[in-house]
Amino acid sequence: TFLLLFLLSPLVTSCPDNECLLERQKEQEEDQRSFDCRSCKALDVDSCPEEGYDCAENLKMTSKVLNADDDCVCSWMKCADSKATLLVEGKPVDKIHCINQTWMTSRTWNGAVVDAAVCALKCGATCVSLPNQGFETDNRLSNFAALPADDEHKCGWGTCEKAAYVSNVGSTPVILQTPTPVEFTCNAASSWSKKAAPNMGDRYTRIQCIKNSCQDSTPSYETQPSVCGIKYTCYEPQLTNTNEPTFNNALTCKRPNALRYKNNINQSPVVPVCSLGQWTDGETSLNTGDLLLCIDCPDFDVAPSSKADPVNTGTELKCPAPYKLKIKVDLFKLCPSNPSNPLYTTCWKSSAVITFDVVSVVCDEEFQWDTKGSIIDNFVSLKDAVKNGLKWKALCTN
Select, from the ranges 18-22, 67-71, 376-380, the one with the highest average predicted confidence (pLDDT).
376-380
pLDDT (0 to 100) of residue 26: 63
Least confident of 147-156, 304-313, 343-352: 343-352
Peptide bond into 322 cis (omega under 30): yes
pLDDT (0 to 100) of residue 382: 86
Residue 8, pLDDT above cutoff 50: no
pLDDT (0 to 100) of residue 34: 62
pLDDT (0 to 100) of residue 198: 47
**Better pLDDT: 22 or 6:** 22
Q: What are phi and psi of 117, to 5 degrees?
A: -150, 165
pLDDT (0 to 100) of residue 301: 92
pLDDT (0 to 100) of residue 258: 92
Q: How confident is the model at residue 6 (pLDDT cuts 50, 70, 90)?
A: very low
Q: How confident is the model at residue 310 (pLDDT cuts 50, 70, 90)?
A: very high
Whether the Cβ atoms of residue 230 and residue 240 lie closer than 8 Å to each other: no
8 alpha carbon, distance to own chain's centre: 89
Peptide bond into 339 cis (omega under 30): no
Which of helix, strand or coil describes residue 28? Answer: helix
Least confident of 180-184, 361-365, 371-375: 371-375
